[in-house]
Amino acid sequence: MTTETMEAPAIAVPTATPPHPVREFWGYFSANHGAVAGLVIIVAVILVALLADVIAPHDPNLTNTAIALKPPFWQEGGSISYPLGTDPIGRDILSRLIYGAQLSLLIGIVVVAISIAIGTVLGLVAGFFRGLTEIFIMRLMDIILTLPSLLLAIVIVAVLGPGLMNAMLAVALVILPHYVRLARAAVITETSKDYVTAARVSGAGTTRLMFREVLPNCTAPLIVQASLGISTAILDAAALGFLGLGAQPPSPEWGTMLADAREFVLRAWWVVTFPGLAILITVLAFNLLGDGLRDALDPKLKR
């Protein structure tokens, strides 16, 4: 808005320069302590997942009934070699949590990747072709949105059969509408802009237009939605695991660990506390990051 005076320093005598866009983004992002905390936690979880083989003290699936239900090291009867205690069949909880991080990140990323891939294609198609195609796609998405997400996921898994793969597919389907709507809305706003008209006039094909010209321009909201989507995916997959419909034992998936531990809630607090805490912290981190990204990328909220 002040470009006119900015480009002509002979006219205006600037006393300070406005910040560069990337620095401005980082300025807004880093001013949000929660978002930075989220980012730090996510990096930490990624590192733990990548280095699981190195840092896990035990094999996550090694059972030893002799040391079943050992409490964490600071409690009486606990030992430092099993820092967070052991589960009912003597597996080291810390090691299981560390390997569980691999699973949770994998679930989050794969689910969101599937959803984004299918969702943006459907959204782009709906936005570009309009008419009946659009009505059909958007109506379908509305129906998916109307149904409670976990209920839909549960029904799908119940029919397809329990298991991690099916749970991931179900969750991917459930979060699909967000990406379809986003991509469609972006296409509709973007196609009305001049650069798309220019590309059309110069003879660019529809497919090329969709992927080369429009898609790069709706990445910002997609990134935000992806971050929030990962948290939903991890949470819903864990819920399915908890209900016995997701990853199956002896998988160290956090939700599945909780399902195994449920009946011991009265006797051994640590077997239920730590897996859930891991879920909460990871999901919270992705939500914090998503919120921070949205605030930093959304120009409407900037003063």
Closest CB 79 distance from other proteins, rounded Å = 23
Shortest separation between residue 71's beta carbon and other proteins, angstroms? 14
Nearer to other proteins, 204 or 284 (CB): 284
Q: Are 251 and 275 in contact (CB under 8 A)?
A: no
Q: Which is nearer to other proteins, 17 or 202 (CB)?
A: 17
Nearer to other proteins, 47 or 301 (CB): 301
Minimum CB separation from other proteins for residue 213, in Å? 32
Least distance (Å) between residue 182 CB and other proteins: 17
- State the nearest-atom distance from the C-beta of 49 to other proteins, in Å: 19
Instruction: Pick the closer one to other proteins by CB: 218 or 224.
Output: 224
Residue number, 53 or 76, with CB nearest to other proteins = 76
HEC readout, the chain:
CCHHHHCCCCCCCCCCCCCCHHHHHHHHHHHCHHHHHHHHHHHHHHHHHHCHHHHCCCCCCCCCHHHCCCCCCCCCCCCCCCCCCECCCCCEHHHHHHHHHHHHHHHHHHHHHHHHHHHHHHHHHHHHHCHHHHHHHHHHHHHHHHCCHHHHHHHHHHHHCCCHHHHHHHHHHHHHHHHHHHHHHHHHHHHCCHHHHHHHHCCCCHHHHHHHHHHHHHHHHHHHHHHHHHHHHHHHHHHHHHCCCCCCCCCCCHHHHHHHHHHHCCCCHHHHHHHHHHHHHHHHHHHHHHHHHHHHHCHHHCC
Give the nearer residue to other proteins in terms of CB position, either 34 or 88: 34
The smaller minimum CB distance to other proteins, of residues 46 and 151, is found at 151
Q: Could you identify the residue written with the tokens 């570009």?
A: 128
CA 249 to CA 60: how far, in whole Å? 12
Using CB under 8 A, list all residues that contact other proteins. 1-2, 4-6, 10-19, 27, 34, 139-140, 142-143, 146-151, 154-156, 158-161, 231, 235, 238-239, 242-245, 255, 258, 262, 265-266, 269, 272-273, 275-277, 279-280, 283-284, 287-288, 291, 303
Q: Smallest distance from the beta carbon of 38 to other proteins, in angstroms? A: 10
Rounded least distance, CB 277 to other proteins, Å: 8
Whichever of 183 and 261 has its CB closer to other proteins, that residue is 261
**CB 45 → other proteins: shortest distance, Å?**
14
Distance (Å) of CA 143 to CA 137, 138, 152, 180:
10, 9, 11, 13
